[in-house]
Amino acid sequence: MPEGGSTSLRLVVMGTGPFAVPMFQTLLASPHVVGLVVTRPDRVARGRRPPPNPMRQAAEAAGLPVFAPADINADDAVEHVAAHQPDLLVVCDYGQILSAAALGTARFGGINLHGSLLPRHRGAAPVQWAILEGDATTGVSVIRMSPRLDAGAVIVCREQPIAADDTAATLEERLAAGGGEGARSS
């Protein structure tokens, strides 16, 4: 993707949950520059504390700016991301489908790390579905993003066997770690 021999891309990383954190940490250790982290806004029930947002915590610990729009596809949100002039959007465990305008904020569009071997188990809860369906293997996929849910071209997949004693939590932890490794080699 980089032109003229450059090995560094300006990235905007989008994620919310714990599945995205290993990928984010791998990108921080890469030659690429993460200029902004976009996450979901905290949703607080009355009288309660907000639930933890692992990506917000990781971004703040790294000293990076965090942007948490209610709608990433709103004109002001698209303008905010575009102002960071990203080369690439890197999305994982974010929770919103990006419009063509949002994807267009980055020179090379966006890629998404997804917790299944696409096209199997598109959408939410792919790890849980792999276990419920009795799959022997699952994995992670990196896809080119399009304005439809998990519909872009698959760039790379990494398989992971599902052990008989795996829970969604144990399997998700291994997949997230493997996704970080996938980010390193992509």
Structure tokens at 134: 């009795």
List beta partners, residue 48. Answer: none
CATH number of 10-185: 3.40.50.170
Structure tokens at 171: 């399997």
Q: For the chain, 186 residues long, give each residue's pLDDT as a single digit of tens.
A: 455 555 799 999 999 989 999 999 999 999 999 999 999 998 777 777 767 789 999 999 999 999 999 999 999 999 999 999 999 999 999 989 899 999 999 999 999 998 888 888 887 788 999 999 999 999 999 999 987 766 788 999 999 999 999 999 999 889 988 765 544 444
The amino acid present at 140, given as its one-letter code, is V
Q: Is 0.75 surpassed by the pTM of this model? A: yes
Q: How far from 165 is each of 68, 83, 175, CA to CA, in Å?
A: 37, 47, 15
pLDDT of residue 178: 76
**88 in Cβ contact with 111 (< 8 Å):** yes
**8 in Cβ contact with 33 (< 8 Å):** yes
Burial of 84 (0-12, 13-18, 19+ CB in 10 A): middle
Give the whole-angstrom CA distance, residue 148 versus residue 145.
8
Q: Is 34 left (phi over 0), alpha (psi -120 to 50) or beta?
A: beta
pLDDT of residue 124: 79
Burial 46-62 (b: 16+ CB within 10 A, else e): eeeeeeebbbbebbeee
Domain limits of the chain? 10-185
pLDDT of residue 183: 45
pLDDT of residue 150: 64
* Location of structure tokens 């849910």: 149
Structure tokens at 126: 């792919």
Burial of 115 (0-12, 13-18, 19+ CB in 10 A): buried
pLDDT of residue 36: 98
| DSSP 8-state symbol, 8 | -
Structure tokens at 111: 């890629």
